[in-house]
Amino acid sequence: MTYQIESLTREALLAQTRTETFIQNQQYHGDLGAIYTAEQTVFKLWAPTAERVELLIYDGHYGGLQAIYPMAQTSDRQVYFFAKEGDCHGMTYRYQLSFPDGTVTKTVDPYAKAVTVNGQRGVVVDLSRTNPENWGERLAPLPLEETIVYELHIRDFTSSKQSGAKHKGKYLGVIEKGTANSNGESTGLDYLQELGVTHVELLPFFDYVTVDETLENPVDYNWGYDPLNYNVPEGSYATNAYDPFVRIRELKQMIQGLHDAGIRVIMDVVYNHVYQVERHPFHHTVPGYFFRQNDDGSLSNGTGVGNDTASERPMMRKFIVDSIKYWAKEYHIDGFRFDLMGIHDVETMQEVRRALDEIDPSIIVFGEGWDLMTPLAHHEKASHHNAPQMAGVGQFNDGLREALKGNDFEAAAKGFVNGAWYQERKAAINMMACLDYQHYLVPQQLIQYVESHDNFTLFDKLRGASPELEMATIIRQHQLATTMVLLAQGIPFLHAGQEFLRTKHGVRDSYNKPDTINQLDWARRSQFAANVAYVQKIIALRKAEPLFRITDYRAIQQSMRVLRADYQIVALQLEDYILVFNAQQNILNYELPVGDYQLVVHDGEVYVDNQPIIQVDHTIAIQSYRPLVVKKLQKLSAEN
């Protein structure tokens, strides 16, 4: 259906783009953006409400305006296009749009794949010229149940002097080999390999707003949840942000280096909101369309940052799916973590999953399925409540997080591991992938965690809730929580540095705080070396024993049961394994069935291989804030 351009006020124009007639009829299914070949580049922009669009070409990346080309329209007047003959690699461009209310905007292409410094202009790119040497195929598929996620921020990983990295805070710093802290202990990529995680989940590395890329070593800091150009790598992580192609090449080098080390890459994506509506290409190209509104026409704010994107509208959904496919294909991304996924709709996430299945079904997808206050029907939200409608899409499990350490927003709140009562049953059932709730299709829909970039680190939370405790006690509580996450059914998730008790010095929300707060302090890798070694062994134990990663609920129901969940004790039976978690301040004399056992975890020791055999007559002592894992040599009966 052709959209009729009329003489409208701005308010009427905005109102028209959210009518059901407009939303359903204004859809385009082809490619958009600067579509490059060596012979010509075709520029295509979906802009049905604009009465005129012009292609602006600049003199080099930072020169003045060189040429203006009027763009033609498709027959349905939805898409403006212009074919520029010749090899346009490196050509810098923007669009100028004129609207019927008299407004004129200049904008970066929403589908831009390369940009100038700070994302101000789009750049045509022959992506084959950005591939590093030996840029190959995707990694071989990894079974979903074998996933162990490690979440880190690119800059945090190497910004500390103790990182030993040359390219501090950069893509290339992530993959430097042979780095060490001042004690000579491994850091960086070598450390990740030693730890044994399978995936790194990187906080946003698309082009974002609030860090000035013109500085070689930016002073400003941000996690990156302030999107600008969704299909372009962030320039502040590149060694030269002024060259549009360096950031692309170095990101590919980083991904290739991680892949060569056997580590897969999950991209944190933030399609749920933009930093500032009024300066974003979405608003400049089709004002009002890409953002969800309340009944009065004001922007909805379920995200808490002033706007929600409208994924339920076909062209916003198309953008998300197109972008995800682009990153998966061009950059060989192995997974996607959706920020505030509950803002999106179920159908969009289903389409994302289908699109990725056509590329590689092993690409992991998960997100924050919180039930957020946005004007979308409850049954349409991509929240954990609707997980059964989203096969192959995981959900962060705040149930286990809250049970283990208490409310994330209250510094003094406690959980199971540090003294709270009545959290035992909740902790146990969540370790069984919420078996009682029948809320998910498979256990791997749950991302099991106790700490992430958001809110207090586990160490800061434990210290804040019990400042009187000795460090040795805090360490045991911390270890207990991490063990329960790593041995839970589902997909375990660690925050970078969690294994060496990462601290942000009591800062709960560090999204824009300096490096002194956010950087990984690699000196703690030595200070808490025993805890690092412990976590390495727990990860190895999980990898060695398939029972810790069961793939369906019927098998969990048949193999696993709660033996005890009271008085600050959680005890689980997993076939011939017995797992006991003692959160009491006292030594627990736990009664086991009489017999011979292999000792797997006890008193802070983990035995992956050569597990000692012990004879139990009646009880086994478990120190305060310690886990116990044993395996009976003779099969346990169902009554035990």
User: How many angstroms separate the most distant Cα atoms in the chain?
Assistant: 89
Between CA 42 and CA 84 the distance in angstroms is 6
Q: Known catalytic residue: 339?
A: yes
**What spatial distance separates the first Cα and last Cα of the chain, rounded to whole Å?**
69
SS3 for 457?
coil
DSSP 189-218: HHHHHHHT-SEEEEPP-EEESSS-TTSSS-
Rounded distance, CA 228 to CA 134, Å?
A: 31
In the set 368, 402, 424, 499, the catalytic residue is 368
- CA–CA separation, 333 vs 269, rounded Å? 12
Strands, DSSP E only, in 474-575?
Answer: 491-495, 560-566, 569-574
Q: How far apart are CA 174 and CA 142, in angstroms?
A: 22
d(CA 421, CA 441): 30
Q: Which of 54, 213, 339, 499 is catalytic?
A: 339
Determine whether 499 is an active site residue: no
What CA–CA distance (Å, rounded) separates 310 from 273? Answer: 9
**Tokens found for residue 270:** 């933030």
Amino acid letter at 122? G
- Separation CA 579–CA 590 (nearest Å): 11
- Is residue 610 within 8 A of residue 541, CB to CB? The reply is no
SS3 per-residue string spanning 305-357: CCCCECCCCHHHHHHHHHHHHHHHHHHCCCEEEECCHHHCEHHHHHHHHHHHH
Q: Where in the sequence numbering do the catalytic residues fall?
A: 339, 368
